[in-house]
Amino acid sequence: MAVHTVASVTNPVDLGPAAALSCRECGHRVPLGPVFACEECFGPLEIAYDFSGYDTEELRKRIEAGPANIWRYAPLLPVPADVADKPNLNPGWTKLVKADHLARELGVTGGLYVKDDSGNPTHSFKDRVVAQALEAARAFGFTTLSCSSTGNLAGAVGAAAARAGLRSCVFIPHDLEQGKVVMAAIYGGDLVGIEGTYDDVNRFCSELIGDPAGEGWGFVNVNLRPYYAEGSKTLAYEIAEQLGWWLPDQIVVPVASGSQLTKIDKGLQELIRLGLVEDRPYRIFGAQAEGCSPVSVAFKGGHDVVRPQKPDTIAKSLAIGNPADGPYVLDIARRTGGAVEDVTDAQIVDAIKLLARTEGIFAETAGGVTVGVTRKLIENGVLDPTKTTVVLNTGDGLKTLDAVAGTGLTATIRPNLDSFKEAGLV
Amino acid sequence: MAVHTVASVTNPVDLGPAAALSCRECGHRVPLGPVFACEECFGPLEIAYDFSGYDTEELRKRIEAGPANIWRYAPLLPVPADVADKPNLNPGWTKLVKADHLARELGVTGGLYVKDDSGNPTHSFKDRVVAQALEAARAFGFTTLSCSSTGNLAGAVGAAAARAGLRSCVFIPHDLEQGKVVMAAIYGGDLVGIEGTYDDVNRFCSELIGDPAGEGWGFVNVNLRPYYAEGSKTLAYEIAEQLGWWLPDQIVVPVASGSQLTKIDKGLQELIRLGLVEDRPYRIFGAQAEGCSPVSVAFKGGHDVVRPQKPDTIAKSLAIGNPADGPYVLDIARRTGGAVEDVTDAQIVDAIKLLARTEGIFAETAGGVTVGVTRKLIENGVLDPTKTTVVLNTGDGLKTLDAVAGTGLTATIRPNLDSFKEAGLV
């Protein structure tokens, strides 16, 4: 079965079924390489695959017999066939938790699941995308893995590079919280604080890529971005396989740059075209924080253009004010009958506590955003509670403890029974 | 094949192959119940199993076809056969990481592996033991899950109870760090601070168990301790299965109460008796922090008696000054040709950084203890670097950030290339 058949190009590297880079805007194709923008129209490049020669049932068996990590899907990713033999963090195959208590609280009767990506090696979904970028870095002969980051990504890159035996050099704003600095620095790579905002850090990285000083450097979210982004497809693959090769009716996905949501859609489409799942309708919902809601505002206003915002929210891992993939998110939400919605910081905190109290899952603020938006969409009659729904938690509450710092002791007592009984807990 | 054949007792509950409670000292047997000390000699009670009727190859197939969590070993645990269908956190089946870079640094040529239990739902091995206690609590009709704790256990109990729909009430010293309080409180159960030391907290819990106010309460590490402790066997099962049903030559295990080490030995012995692995010699090594090294001191002094210490170490999850299973740890280390050793706080921090830098694994202080002790044992010629060695990491570095708070930025620069080049990183 041929999917995404591409014109033959000569690739200097072996990245499995990845056949070329293709511009999402104009379709122009170039060989695989460390480039991210179309030379014709400056549109974003993404991976085009050659899946010809795959037999559906053989592929399914191969996946099911594969390792309990993302490499079970190696035939569908831009990685060499022997990827699992090389040292990397082997992320993925995280739990899809049937959330019956949460469903009861939210009034969902059609089956509610939480895809809990806090189970990844550095406890966020970033391990999935960095693992793809690492293979691309190896293929292109890069010796330093780099990125700009405000948190999760820094740790994921530092850990992956350490495991792979590559150097890492990560750039962050110089005034990050000490905890985040420790999490990024512990892996022993270079960690450079830049006097400026996150935008300044990004601008600096683009400069460095063009300079001889940046030679041999793979920036996972810049010049390796087309490879990196594909890692999010594995969330779609896992959800479908864990549901017994079945597409859920509704999926709620956090939106930062919007890349994750678009790649989840891409992954689901591939499963359909490969015959691994039945072609049935699904709806994709995007979730943002009110304090950084450019895509949600555009969706609700019926606009095609995403107007940048200056972020101000506790959901810092989603705080991208000018999301590159915003227009694609709007397309997908509208095409699939989904929506994009946002919640306030207070609603985010409530949702973190709700998920912890009902299912024992301690989510990062981004998980509070998706659970909070799910609740809001149900209350507003947008999300159908009688349908099977999957909500993503993309990170770990241990990384955003400040957001729930008010949570504390129920009672303080003296060490005796009388004092305990006075506290009124029995 | 009959293993641990027991006299017939009438059990009021179904906990799978668990046949009775048996005193580790005098062998006296009683039916399964929420008791932990022998009525004859006050020795510790542990689970005796009826494994009769198991065919080795059928059992192996059943395990291999089981879920990717501890319940694949349900036939060997004190849990009902349908355990996987009930809401719990499904811990276990964590990664066994082949640590080639670390091996090179330590001079290990026989194969070095890190069993990384930071991948558990609340990021410590405690999820394994709490999951067993939860099943016992359900079997005995308890409605509140409780414990005394200084950290990891509080979170594991709170999360497991939330997921199971039970109430939780956890007791901690009232002056714990705010971060640990948040991690324990987030799951919405009652969290009671006790004005006193951890010893005071423990004493209070023992009092509460004997009082009508404690009726219906299962204290995972007190009246449910015989069930709880069995969870550590799953570490042994997983290590052997992940090595291809093969016993490693050497295992390095942290020692707090000593329970984990003794149960790992019990698990390995069961695998041998059940025919699931070849009977070959293995050596078990215990690892402590110098600031709480009662078992290590006894081992090195050639004593049978463990003299209590007042703990003073950054490895707080191992800081049990009077370890209940200390004498059993000494027995096992001596019987298997192992040893018990300790490292300083500075060596613990160095080892945390070494593991992070070489393998991308950010370990809790307890992981620094095992890696540090491994290094010391190799340097001292005690641990054989030409043999296959497994080192346990039982927790997550995110929970003990304070221990490595000195880790920070390599450089701070202005957002331009000149400033970067001046920093000397290229």
Domain containing residue A164: CATH number:
3.40.50.1100
Q: Which of A200, A228, A256 is where one domain is finished?
A: A228
Backbone angles phi, psi at A258, to 5 degrees: 95, -10
Residue among B324, B120, B69, B386 nearest A396 (CA)? B120
In-domain check, residue A33: yes
In chain A, the residue whose alpha carbon lies closest to the alpha carbon of B127 is A360
Of A182, A412, A417, Cβ closest to residue B174:
A412
In-domain check, residue B6: no
Q: Which of B209, B228, B247 is where one domain is finished?
A: B228
Of B181, B407, B410, Cβ closest to residue A408:
B181
Q: Helix or strand or coil: residue A193?
A: strand
Q: How far is B417 from chain A (nearest CA, A)?
A: 7
Contact B414 A183 (CB under 8 A): no
DSSP state of A89: -
Same domain assignment for residues B164 and B181: yes
- The pLDDT assigned to B176 comes to 83
Contact B185 A408 (CB under 8 A): yes
- The pLDDT assigned to A2 comes to 38
Same domain assignment for residues B140 and B222: yes
Q: Helix or strand or coil: residue A243?
A: coil
Question: In chain A, which residues have their Cβ closer than 8 Å to the Cβ of B191?
Answer: 408-410
DSSP state of A167: E
Taking CA atoms, A4 is separated from A44, A48, A74, A261, in Å, by: 17, 7, 17, 20
DSSP E strands, A70-176: 96-98, 112-116, 144-148, 167-173
Q: Helix or strand or coil: residue B128?
A: helix
Query: Quick one: which H or E segment has residue B423?
Result: none
- Asked whether B114 and B97 are in contact (CB, 8 A), the reply is yes
Same domain assignment for residues A386 and A239: yes
Same domain assignment for residues A71 and A41: yes
Contact A179 B412 (CB under 8 A): no
In-domain check, residue A6: no
Contact B186 A119 (CB under 8 A): no
In chain B, the residue whose alpha carbon lies closest to the alpha carbon of A158 is B360
Contact B193 A413 (CB under 8 A): yes
- The pLDDT assigned to A199 comes to 81
- Asked whether B92 and B371 are in contact (CB, 8 A), the reply is no
Question: In terms of residues, how long is chain A?
Answer: 426
Contact A211 B159 (CB under 8 A): no
Same domain assignment for residues A246 and A367: yes
Q: How many CB pairs under 8 A join A and B?
A: 232
In chain B, the residue whose alpha carbon lies closest to the alpha carbon of A421 is B213
Contact A362 B187 (CB under 8 A): yes
Same domain assignment for residues A193 and A321: no
Same domain assignment for residues A241 and A390: yes
Contact B200 A415 (CB under 8 A): yes
Question: Can you tell me the distance from the alpha carbon of B37 to that of B39, in angstroms, rounded to the nearest whole number?
Answer: 6
Residue B346: partners with Cβ closer than 8 Å, 6 or more residues away = none
Residues facing residue A144 across a β-bridge: A167, A217
Structure-derived torsion over alpha carbons of residues B295, B301, B305, B307, reported in degrees to the nearest 10: -60
Instruction: Provide the 10 A C-beta neighbour count for residue B3.
Output: 18
Q: How far is A401 from chain B (nearest CA, A)?
A: 7
In chain B, the residue whose alpha carbon lies closest to the alpha carbon of A190 is B410
In-domain check, residue A27: yes
Listed in sequence order, the DSSP H helices in B25-76 are: 56-64
Of B87, B98, B187, Cβ closest to residue A356:
B187
Contact A193 B89 (CB under 8 A): no
Question: Can you tell me the distance from the alpha carbon of A394 to that of A399, in angstroms, rounded to the nearest whole number?
Answer: 12
Q: How far is B178 from chain A (nearest CA, A)?
A: 8
Contact A417 B178 (CB under 8 A): no
Taking CA atoms, A379 is separated from A103, A107, A350, B62, B309, in Å, by: 13, 9, 15, 45, 57
Looking up tokens 């319940």 gives B71
Residue among A164, A122, A395 nearest B362 (CA)? A122
Same domain assignment for residues A136 and A268: no
In-domain check, residue B11: no
What residue ranges of chain B have pLDDT lower than 50? Answer: 1-7
Q: Which of B178, B210, B228 is where one domain is finished?
A: B228
- Can you give A18-54 as a three-state secondary structure string? EEEEEECCCCCEECCCCCCECCCCCCEEEEEECCCCC
In-domain check, residue B316: yes
Question: In chain B, which residues have their Cβ closer than 8 Å to the Cβ of A160?
Answer: 360
Question: In chain B, which residues have their Cβ closer than 8 Å to the Cβ of A162?
Answer: 101, 356-360
Ordered DSSP codes for A382-422: -S-TTS-EEEEE-BBGGGGGGGGTT---SEEE-SSHHHHHH
- The pLDDT assigned to B127 comes to 98
Q: By residue range, what is the domain housing residue B36?
A: 18-84
Residue B79: partners with Cβ closer than 8 Å, 6 or more residues away = B15, B16, B71, B132, B135
Q: How far is B323 from chain A (nearest CA, A)?
A: 22
- Asked whether B168 and A357 are in contact (CB, 8 A), the reply is no
Contact A213 B426 (CB under 8 A): yes
Contact A121 B119 (CB under 8 A): yes
Contact B415 A204 (CB under 8 A): yes
Question: In chain A, which residues have their Cβ closer than 8 Å to the Cβ of B103?
Answer: none
Q: How far is B383 from chain A (nearest CA, A)?
A: 24
- Total domain count, chain A: 3
Q: Which one of A64, A182, A202, A399 would you mutate to disrupt binding with B, by most B Cβ within 10 Å of its Cβ?
A: A182
Same domain assignment for residues B156 and B304: no
Of B163, B412, B414, Cβ closest to residue A359:
B163
Contact B412 A90 (CB under 8 A): no
Residue among A65, A74, A112 nearest A92 (CA)? A74
Instruction: Provide the 10 A C-beta neighbour count for residue A14.
Output: 12
Same domain assignment for residues A158 and A297: no
Taking CA atoms, A206 is separated from A182, A199, A201, A203, B353, in Å, by: 25, 11, 9, 5, 31
Which tokens belong to B297?
């001191």
Backbone angles phi, psi at A219, to 5 degrees: -90, 110
In-domain check, residue B236: yes
Question: In chain B, which residues have their Cβ closer than 8 Å to the Cβ of A187?
Answer: 356-357, 360, 362
The distance from CA B174 to its chain's CA centroid, rounded to whole angstroms, is 25
Structure-derived torsion over alpha carbons of residues A172, A164, B366, B342, reported in degrees to the nearest 10: -120
**Angle ∠(B48,B53,B55) on CA atoms, nearest 5:** 115
Which tokens belong to A199?
């935008």
Same domain assignment for residues A134 and A278: no
Question: In chain A, which residues have their Cβ closer than 8 Å to the Cβ of B165?
Answer: 101
**Angle ∠(B160,A378,A374) on CA atoms, nearest 5:** 50
B257 sits in the region (left: phi over 0; alpha: psi -120 to 50; else beta) called alpha
Residues facing residue A23 across a β-bridge: A45
In-domain check, residue A426: no
What is the ipTM for the molecules in this complex?
0.95
DSSP E strands, A255-317: 283-289
Of B160, B179, B359, Cβ closest to residue A360:
B160
Question: Can you tell me the distance from the alpha carbon of B114 to that of A309, in angstroms, rounded to the nearest whole number?
Answer: 45
Strand B112-116 and strand B389-393: pairing? parallel
Same domain assignment for residues B253 and B325: yes
Q: Helix or strand or coil: residue B206?
A: helix
Q: Would you write out chain A's pLDDT as a tens digit for each of its 426 residues?
A: 334 444 445 667 899 999 999 999 999 999 999 999 999 999 999 999 999 999 999 999 999 999 999 999 999 999 999 999 999 999 999 999 999 999 999 999 999 999 999 999 999 999 999 999 999 999 999 999 999 998 889 999 999 999 999 999 999 999 888 888 998 999 999 999 999 888 889 899 999 998 999 999 999 999 999 999 999 999 999 999 999 999 999 999 999 999 999 999 999 999 999 999 999 999 999 999 999 999 999 999 999 999 999 999 999 999 999 999 999 999 999 999 999 999 999 999 999 999 999 999 999 999 999 999 999 999 999 999 999 999 999 999 999 999 998 898 999 999 999 999 999 888
- Residue-wise pLDDT for A23-77, tens only, equals 999 999 999 999 999 999 999 999 999 999 999 999 999 999 999 999 999 999 9
Q: How far is B361 from chain A (nearest CA, A)?
A: 7
Of A89, A169, A401, Cβ closest to residue B425:
A169
Question: Can you tell me the distance from the alpha carbon of A253 to that of A264, in angstroms, rounded to the nearest whole number?
Answer: 9
The distance from CA A250 to its chain's CA centroid, rounded to whole angstroms, is 17
Q: Is B269 exposed, middle or buried (0-12, 13-18, 19+ CB in 10 A)?
A: middle
- The pLDDT assigned to A4 comes to 42
